[in-house]
């Protein structure tokens, strides 16, 4: 067992909170690491370091910051196997999935390597006689990120590389359930040349978060996690005059039209619903089958594949689905499965035997048919390997279902019909849309974010939205002495006046 430490001002520090966190290997249910949590005082120490570092970091040219991102990218690639191992042991996802996650994070670092281009401003000559105007995007100051357990590497990398590349300094508050990979990638950016104090990484719970929310030196907060916590972060952070973006929970629907390729749709559903044990904010948790024939055929082809899912520890050969994160999460998911049965949905594949057969926090793939929109398995985010199939008569009913759901993270349609696909992309009320794509996660040059209860604060993450979130706009209007006319002027002037 390793005792982990926080990384504050370039140094490894033992936390001073009274809470010590046990970190589990969910495949065995055993504790693998520990960390003494970060107290409010530790957060203040990190904020002071970040505040001091900001004074010099903001003056470092974007191309020098980009150079660190180039170095960082190389180091991340070099250490990919180690990072995947650290990720999987604490999270439970397969090694291949962990590698994919880190690679998705590296894409953000690559985006940041071009920060000079992203910060390039607009210049307009002669907005009025002898007057020019241009925009600057300047850093905000000390920013903070609060991250969830389900992407221990990628979600932190959605945040701090962009913030830092824009000239800010950063406090990264990792999930207390999966800190090792986030701490290691924070070390690596220092090896890449980042000056101390620019990124400070801590591990803690509400105690640390509450200091982040109220500390006057922190100017902006990025949060990714569940909706109730996101609402709290948004309300408290805004109340304390911070810019806040909160990316929250989800219930992502896949509509399968009668003309869709059934084999392709089935494979897509299996990967998107059960990959990472359904613990992805873009997992497909609802399939909306259009027409009885489509639904019957889909259920028939899904049942054997869900039953055949190879469940096991992250490093077992050929394993497709690992455990869920904790015994608490396992219990919540089992409660949902029971409530689905009690409410009258048909549990056509019952994965609950795996919980009894295996040590660790396992649940086998579960498949519900005949799910209705009022059931809790439909309304709530379960965040486990539980897929609901809802049957509807036509496309309009399917679209209405997606649009009436409180969450609006992602949704996808499987069809061969261009008209339907086009109507769907234009009218569906979610932030990320797929057409014959099971999990439409935007790549790093685009931005990630949902609608409705899936995004509070309206600001999506990474890509140009990320650059806008971590910078403040300044518009300069200038004239030189030779262009100034004589006399005092009391009226507003427009470019057309002279």
Catalytic residues: 281
- The full 3-state SS of the chain, as one line of letters, equals CEECCEEECCEEECCCCCCEEEEEECCCCEEEEEEECCCHHHHHHHHHHHHHHHHHHCCCCHHHHHHHHHHHHHHHHHCHHHHHHHHHHHHCCCHHHHHHHHHHHHHHHHHHCCHHHHCCCCEEEEEECCEEEEEEEEECCEEEEECCCCCCCHHHHHHHHHHHHCCCEEEEEECCCCHHHHHHHHHHHHHCCCCCCCEEEEECCHHHHHHHHHCCCEEEEEEECCHHHHHHHHHHHHHCCCEEEEECCCCEEEEECCCCCHHHHHHHHHHHHHHHHHCCCCCEEEEEEECHHHHHHHHHHHHHHHHCCCECCCCCCCCCECCCCCHHHHHHHHHHHHHHHHCCCEEEECCCHHHHHCCCCCCCCEEEECCCCCCHHHHCCCCCCEEEEEEECCHHHHHHHHHHCCEECEEEEECCCHHHHHHHHHHCCCCEEEECCCCCCCCCCCCECCEECCEECCCCECHHHHHHHCEEEEEEEECCHHHCCCCCCCCCCCCCCC
Shortest approach of ligand NAD to residue 35 CB, angstroms?
12
Shortest approach of ligand NAD to residue 376 CB, angstroms?
15
- CB nearer to ligand NAD: give 179 or 291: 179
- CB nearer to ligand NAD: give 38 or 289: 38
Shortest approach of ligand NAD to residue 142 CB, angstroms?
18
- CB nearer to ligand NAD: give 47 or 260: 47
- CB nearer to ligand NAD: give 250 or 421: 250
- CB nearer to ligand NAD: give 22 or 121: 22
Shortest approach of ligand NAD to residue 176 CB, angstroms?
5
- CB nearer to ligand NAD: give 7 or 257: 7
| Contact set with ligand NAD (CB under 6 A) | 146-151, 155, 173, 175-176, 205-206, 209, 224-226, 229, 232, 247-250, 281, 381, 383, 409, 450, 454
- CB nearer to ligand NAD: give 293 or 331: 331
Shortest approach of ligand NAD to residue 183 CB, angstroms?
14
């Amino acid at each position: 067992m390793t005792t982990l430490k926080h990384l504050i001002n370039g140094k490894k520090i033992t936390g001073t909170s009274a809470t010590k966190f046990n970190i589990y290997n969910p495949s065995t249910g055993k504790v693998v690491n520990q960390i003494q949590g970060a107290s409010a005082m530790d957060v203040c120490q990190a904020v002071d370091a970040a505040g001091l570092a900001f004074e010099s970091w903001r003056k470092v040219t974007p191309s020098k910051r980009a150079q660190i991102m180039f170095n960082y990218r190389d180091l991340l690639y070099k250490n990919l196997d180690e990072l995947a191992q650290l990720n999987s042991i604490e999270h439970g996802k397969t090694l291949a999935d962990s590698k994919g996650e880190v690679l998705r994070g590296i894409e953000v670092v690559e985006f940041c390597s071009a920060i000079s281009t992203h910060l390039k401003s607009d210049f307009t000559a002669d907005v009025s006689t002898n007057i020019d105007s241009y925009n600057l995007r300047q850093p905000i100051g000390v920013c903070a990120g609060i991250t969830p357990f389900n992407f221990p590497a990628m979600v932190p990398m959605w945040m701090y590389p962009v913030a830092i590349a824009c000239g800010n300094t950063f406090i990264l508050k990792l999930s207390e359930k999966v800190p090792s990979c986030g701490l290691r990638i924070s070390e690596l950016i220092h090896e890449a040349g980042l000056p101390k104090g620019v990124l400070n990484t801590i591990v803690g719970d509400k105690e640390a978060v509450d200091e982040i929310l109220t500390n006057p030196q922190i100017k902006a907060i990025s949060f990714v996690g569940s909706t109730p916590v996101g609402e709290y972060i948004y309300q408290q952070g805004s109340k304390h005059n911070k810019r806040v973006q909160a990316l929250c929970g989800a219930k992502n629907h896949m509509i399968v039209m009668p003309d869709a390729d059934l084999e392709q749709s089935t494979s897509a559903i299996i990967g998107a619903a059960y990959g990472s044990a359904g613990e992805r904010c873009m997992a497909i948790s609802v399939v909306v089958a259009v027409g009885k024939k489509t639904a019957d055929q889909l259920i028939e082809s899904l049942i054997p594949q869900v039953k055949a899912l190879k469940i096991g520890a992250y490093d077992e050969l050929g394993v497709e689905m690992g455990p869920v994160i904790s015994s608490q999460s396992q219990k919540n998911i089992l409660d949902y499965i029971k409530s689905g049965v009690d409410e009258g949905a048909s549990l056509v594949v019952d994965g609950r035997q795996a919980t009894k057969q295996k040590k660790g926090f396992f649940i086998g793939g579960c498949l519900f048919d005949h799910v209705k929109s009022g059931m809790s398995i439909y309304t709530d985010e379960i965040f486990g390997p539980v897929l609901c199939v809802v049957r509807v008569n036509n496309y309009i009913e399917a679209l209405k279902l997606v649009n009436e759901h409180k969450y609006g993270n992602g949704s996808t349609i499987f069809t061969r019909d261009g008209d339907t696909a086009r109507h769907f992309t234009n009218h569906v009320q979610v932030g990320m849309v797929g057409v014959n794509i099971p999990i439409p996660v935007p790549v790093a040059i685009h931005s990630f974010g949902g609608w409705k209860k899936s995004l509070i604060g309206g600001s999506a993450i990474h890509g140009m939205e990320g650059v806008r979130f971590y910078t403040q706009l300044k518009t300069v209007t200038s004239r030189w002495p030779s262009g100034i006319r004589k006399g005092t002027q009391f009226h507003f002037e427009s470019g057309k006046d002279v």
